[in-house]
Structure 1
């Protein structure tokens, strides 16, 4: 049995598990905003047809300037990418043959990007249940590393680390000439907005990744960006394919930067739905990760490995995300996206039925 490496595309999960896919499913495997794309994007959608008859700006100048104004940095400190995945793989090429530390459990794409570029990969596995960053243990490893990947909020646990804790790592790594890549793909989901983006002006060893896919529910468009020192941005840009980011994506990005009310609406909705779920999990004696974002880990403590629950939910039309390819989890948890009241009602019904089995 070979399960998919990522969430979404549930038909692949059903095929891998050799289960007939029901006509009606609830897909909780992909961490996309359940509200869908904002109204502002829908309003301009017809106008975007004009972008398909001309070549896009290969340097995404207008979008870079818009992001720079929002983040308070220079446009030259920004690189636009065809989704966060492209940027991760550009960083992998840039780090070719380096010693790289990956803090787990985390997004599997970091390791894949480093593996294909002949990096020597070291795994720093956080302790289960709170997944807190042990700074003292981490600092010991930094002198041997050329780079370290940190996800904040962390995918898949949803744990959010303070900016001060991250700066302590960045500062220590800077002293050791070690690059720190902080992936903030989900930074705009928690009500408490924590980011280290302003620190790119202070630390030349820092790269901050962002994705527009998750908050604005546009995975089919593919749009992300990174922020770093100008020298690093130029070096990474050298590896990027010309016209990597299409004209529609660039225009969409400029529009989405104005969607402050949409982001706030999403944050409150996610918090409300997550808290209702966690209250149910407490009552039903499930364990879950202390998530601050739009996804969380869940497990039935009566099981070690959760495949039986994973299968039961699939048979009942509920698609979760397995954790077999997350180091430090190894199938002991399932990951779920926070969605809406209807989807959660079906999830809670299925979990209640699971608990009531003889």
Structure 2
């Protein structure tokens, strides 16, 4: 069976398992803010019409200016892209033919971008449970690597690794002349996030990737950015096509940076719902990853392969994210986004039904 490689677009998932998609369904497979876009977006949406008659700024000057002011770095240390996916693609081209190490489980597009650019790919595998980093074992693998991909907070576990640990990783990468690609697509959901952005100004081989589509619920617009030393940004920008980011996305990005209250409300909601869900799961003896963000891994310890639970939920219109294409997981866990109380209640009802039959 060929499983869809991403969450969302559930019609392809139901096609893969040869099942009719229920009319009433809740998609837990995409990790998008359950509050939706900031309220101001709807009120100001009509303003965007004026921007579709001209080419967008290929340098994203206004958005970069706001990002630089927010992060305390230079505009020349920022590259705006068509979602994180475009930026990962550019990095794949930058390291073409080299050895890439991926800290797994991780977002599948790292490996895809590396493979298509003839990179040699190896893994460092996080161990289920606390999903901890053994820096000594990882350092051994870094000796042979030209670049390492590290997703923090991790996707799919939701685990956030503290700044002190990341600093050690940066030191090890420096020691071995290894480029560190730090994907922080979900950093703004982590309540105790500590920025590592200051490290990019110290001429280290650190690239920080960010997505604006998750927190601000604009995946249809596609918007992300990378931060790195000026030489790395210049190399990536030289590979990027003109006008890859549309004008509506650029303007929406500027609005996102003014939406601090939306971020605060989101973090509070996610924290409350995450605590409620974890307490519920533990009462029914499900295993849950120690997530700090808006999604988590779950498994029924009574099953090795979670396919029976996966199919049961799909038939009930509950759509988790499969883990068939996450090395080290291969279907032994399911990933769920944290949604609003009503949708989470429906999920818990389904899990109670499962426990009645299993």
Comparing 253-262 with 192-201, which one deviates more in the overlay? Answer: 192-201
Match of 1:319 in 2: 319
Match of 1:167 in 2: 167
**1:1-358 matched pairs, under 5 angstroms:** 1-357=1-357
Residues 174, 203 of structure 1: 8 Å contact kept = no
- d(CA) in 2 for partners of 1:27 and 1:348? 14
- State the Cα deviation string for residues 83-134 of structure 1 (Å, max 9, x = none): 0000000000000001110000010000000000000001111111111111
Q: Which segments of 5 or more consecutive residues in structure 2 lack a partner in the other structure? A: none
Q: Output the TM-score relative to the length of structure 2.
A: 0.99
- d(CA) in 1 for partners of 2:55 and 2:353? 54
- State the Cα deviation string for residues 196-225 of structure 1 (Å, max 9, x = none): 112111243000000000000000000000
- State the Cα deviation string for residues 296-349 of structure 1 (Å, max 9, x = none): 000100000000000000001100000010011110000000001111111111
- d(CA) in 2 for partners of 1:182 and 1:49? 35
- d(CA) in 2 for partners of 1:169 and 1:91? 19
Q: Which segments of 5 or more consecutive residues in structure 1 lack a partner in the other structure? A: none
What's the secondary structure of 1:103's corresponding residue? Answer: strand
- State the Cα deviation string for residues 154-174 of structure 1 (Å, max 9, x = none): 000000001111111112211
- d(CA) in 1 for partners of 2:334 and 2:165? 27
- d(CA) in 2 for partners of 1:134 and 1:42? 46
Residues 142, 173 of structure 1: 8 Å contact kept = yes
Residues 162, 193 of structure 2: 8 Å contact kept = no
When the two structures are aligned, how many residues end up with a matched partner? 358
Q: Output the TM-score relative to the length of structure 1.
A: 0.99
Residues 171, 203 of structure 1: 8 Å contact kept = no
Quote the RMSD (CA, aligned, Å). Answer: 0.8
